[in-house]
Amino acid sequence: MCYRWALAICSLGLGAALALGQPQDPPSFIAYAELNSSINPITKDFLLRVITEAHRDGASFLVVRLDTPGGLLESTKDMVTAILNAPIPIVIWVGPGGARAASAGAFITLAADIAAMAEGTNIGSSTPVSLAPSEGDQPNQDDPARKKIMEFVASEARKIAEKRGRSKEWAEKFVLEGKSLTAREALEHNIINLIANSREELLNRLDGYQFQRDGQTIQLHTLGVPIKVYERTLKEQVMNYLADPNVVYLLLTIGIYALVAEFFTPGFGVGIGGAICLLLALLGLQVLPFNVVGLAFILLGVALMVIDVFASTHLALTVGGVISLLIGSFMLFDIESFEAPAISISPINIFVTVGAITALFVFMVTKGLLIQRKPVATGKEGMIGAVGTARDELNPTGMVFVQGEYWLATALDAPIKPGESVRVERLENGKLIVRKV
């Protein structure tokens, strides 16, 4: 009997010792991150990294502040998939006032476990850009290709809304009709779960909030829970700037023309800056979907303009280069599907850039033509027509002073007295043939 009691006491002591020796779980915290740019591969990688690290660090849930004009199709699909299958709950908050969840941003908001918006924000306008009619135009409703793509994107929106118990009808209207909703309207139509005008208000309203996730009821606790902010790394910040087609386009054109300028006028140092700009542009082209044919048109335009500086084509090649440059600029990026207009190249940017380059090359070519038409001012040819003074009596040969030098000259209208002005007519065997002025 005593043996059994001793064994039990030892077992309890051993269990307590093991329990005390094991590391304690760190206290839970709330993860927080911000997505305030276009949806692109860099934004996608950042969100996926935050979800992975927040789960690994033991976060109870993740809050993402969203403010985006939209983004690329593939990046949006990957982000929605990551949110729907995240190991921790994800709260998407469109805020503060003035923020938007447009185009692809609406899909990301629909995919959240809990969606919130601030007053003065909007959500929607998810019609594919390549299929959206221009202002004043009417969409062709009978186009089979258009119907097929629109129905596919709308089905994706309905699928996400159904997964999260949101309004499938309004999710579909975002795509098929390009509708947008304010925060109050989104709450009334079951697109979002609540309205909060600040992060603090959002966390206060989330305290004790219950929702269904994978068939289980989850209750959030926020009061007194620490917040850990996940920020972009320096590399992610730089690459995010390079995910803007307008920035990449400017870097590309500056880099190319700076290298051209360094090649023809070495020593000014613009080639170093041009090489850096060109390498940054190539990094951006790795992130964005670009068209190789568009890049070829740009390079052809540059080549034609450079050749025209040295060829006697009287701006013909420059005109061809401008046309090629414009075609290449508009074709450079392959922006399709439901990507946002905000991430395409601005036509104003294209016309200003091409216009500045055109003005520079027209100036260079016209200056070259004017120089070619000027009489020769150096060498033997530059002596013809020059005016000098007779130092000796030319009868018919003597010394003259022309262009700061003494020359042996023969007068065509001898005799010419010393001190009289003469003009050079031609050179013969190193001797000037002159005539009295």
- For residues 369 and 406, membership in a common domain is answered with no
One-letter amino acid of 227: I
- For residues 127 and 73, membership in a common domain is answered with yes
φ, ψ for residue 385, nearest 5 deg: 90, -10
- For residues 299 and 163, membership in a common domain is answered with no
What is the rounded end-to-end Cα distance, in angstroms, of the chain? 145
CB atoms within 10 A of CB 302: 21
Give the pair of three-digit tokens for residue 363.
């100036």
Q: What is the pLDDT of residue 187?
A: 95
Tell me, rounded to whole angstroms, the distance of Cα 343 from its chain centroid.
Answer: 7
Please identify which residue in the block is written with the tokens 């207009």.
341
Spatial strand order in the sheet of 122-124? 100-102, 122-124, 180-182
Query: How many residues are listed for the chain in this entry?
Result: 437
- For residues 126 and 178, membership in a common domain is answered with yes
Beta-ladder partners of 100: 122
Q: What is the pLDDT of residue 80?
A: 94
57 SS3 class: helix
Of 185, 207, 234, the residue that ends a domain is 234
| CATH number of the domain residue 428 falls in | 2.40.50.140
- For residues 305 and 169, membership in a common domain is answered with no
- For residues 207 and 276, membership in a common domain is answered with no
**CA gap 388, 368 in Å, rounded:** 30
| CATH number of the domain residue 67 falls in | 3.90.226.10
**Widest pairwise Cα distance in the chain:** 154
| Alpha-helical regions (H) of 165-290 | 168-176, 183-188, 199-206, 234-241, 245-264, 270-287
- For residues 215 and 70, membership in a common domain is answered with yes
CB atoms within 10 A of CB 130: 12
Give the pair of three-digit tokens for residue 117.
């918006």
Give the pair of three-digit tokens for residue 100.
């938007």
DSSP state of 98: T
- For residues 426 and 358, membership in a common domain is answered with no
Give the pair of three-digit tokens for residue 102.
């447009």
Task: Assess contact for 189 and 212: CB atoms under 8 A.
Answer: no
Q: How far is CA 365 from CA 25, 289, 297, in A?
A: 74, 36, 21
- For residues 65 and 188, membership in a common domain is answered with yes
Question: Number of structural domains, the chain?
Answer: 3
106 SS3 class: helix
**CA gap 350, 356 in Å, rounded:** 10
Establish if 226 belongs to a structural domain.
yes
Q: Which domain holds residue 279?
A: 242-373
Of 373, 395, 428, the residue that ends a domain is 373
Of 330, 353, 373, the residue that ends a domain is 373
**CA gap 408, 376 in Å, rounded:** 22
Nearest CA-CA partner of 365 in 293, 430, 324, 309? 309
- For residues 184 and 307, membership in a common domain is answered with no
- For residues 187 and 46, membership in a common domain is answered with yes
pLDDT averaged per 10 residues, the chain (length 437): 43 41 57 92 94 95 94 88 95 94 91 95 75 43 64 87 92 88 94 95 94 89 94 90 88 88 74 88 85 90 84 78 90 62 73 86 66 54 79 84 84 82 82 84
Establish if 126 belongs to a structural domain.
yes
424 SS3 class: strand
Establish if 265 belongs to a structural domain.
yes
- For residues 296 and 429, membership in a common domain is answered with no
